[in-house]
Structure 1
Amino acid sequence: MRKIIAATNMTLDGFCDHTAVTADEETHQHYADLLMDAGVILYGRITYQLMEYWRTIVENPTGIKAEDEFALNMDKISKIVFSRTLESVDWNGTELKRDINKEEILQLRQQTGKDIFVGSPGLIAAFTNLGLIDEYQIAVHPIIAGSGLPLFKNIQEKLDLKLLKTKTFTCGAIILYYEPVRSQQR
């Protein structure tokens, strides 16, 4: 059974804003490696459209190894986008879904293959509320944004987490790896 992993970046004050966080080469390399170990990544419309930027890097590489590798891995990975407003998607290996169907997600989890990553704040909250997240990988960056989209907006119930490990980057970012305590009771 594959794991469903919530993986995202946030500021020290708890906001998700990819434009507020500056990723260095070490951070890009971490996420390039992460994508190599992923089977599929799930996005909401807004994050998906932000990530489409990497298509331009595939077409016109930067010459920065980690960024170019991240772009190539992003291009290769299967993507599912949940949106009620997008009419279509045309990025390699991308499927459009209108609604989150818990049974479909559970079936996806049961398939063989590499883990499933959830990379949008709204989807992370929705999947948390549905009890679908097996692990959280939250990169906290040393930036105070002051405002933005909170990561765990609209969470319906308290969820206890167990710290599995941490990873520190030279830029000061720290990835916190947690699993829900209740996932051990499945």
Structure 2
Amino acid sequence: MATNYGASSNDNGNGALLAGVVGFGLGIAAAVGRKAAVQAITASAGDWFEGLKAEHKLAMGIIETLEKTTEEDTKKRAALLFSLQHALGKHAIQEEDVIYCALRASGEVEAANELGQDHNAEVKQGLYDLEQIDKASPAWLTRLQELKSDIEAHVREEEDVVFPKLYASLSEEENKKLTKRMNFEGFKVA
């Protein structure tokens, strides 16, 4: 007598297919939940400007935690650097793909281009350098402090000069649309 270790003769593999579909659905739900949790800090801030300020604060908090590490904390530095890269990467996408475009549309082309250049020339290069430098090297912390200085200058320009001007130039409805668009963009890459 043959033993049937697989699906029953009248199952025809439907159980395995159903399990695959359920597993896929659960995976999608988990991914959506994770993305929502990551974007929650920004979305709960209210509008696009407050959301970006909250993200600036989050990134600076990660940097301050990194500054407290020692040369022996190589794994902690690597993990925190990964968190910083993700936070700043999502943040850059929101600014570059939405906010800087709105700046250009409002006539602030030079400001948008300069801020975008800051992201590429200073922030992305700094993150790359930190990834390449030995986490136990004293040069690592020195490069982190240089990156922090670059980010602080960039944040001051955005929060104190450029973004307030853009926010004030838009109607309440336009600011709501910009907030919605920015949060959607952030959710996509969260």
TM-score using structure 2 length = 0.25
Q: Answer 1 or 2: which has greater helix percent.
A: 2
- TM-score when scaled to structure 1? 0.25
- Is the strand fraction higher in 1 or 2? 1
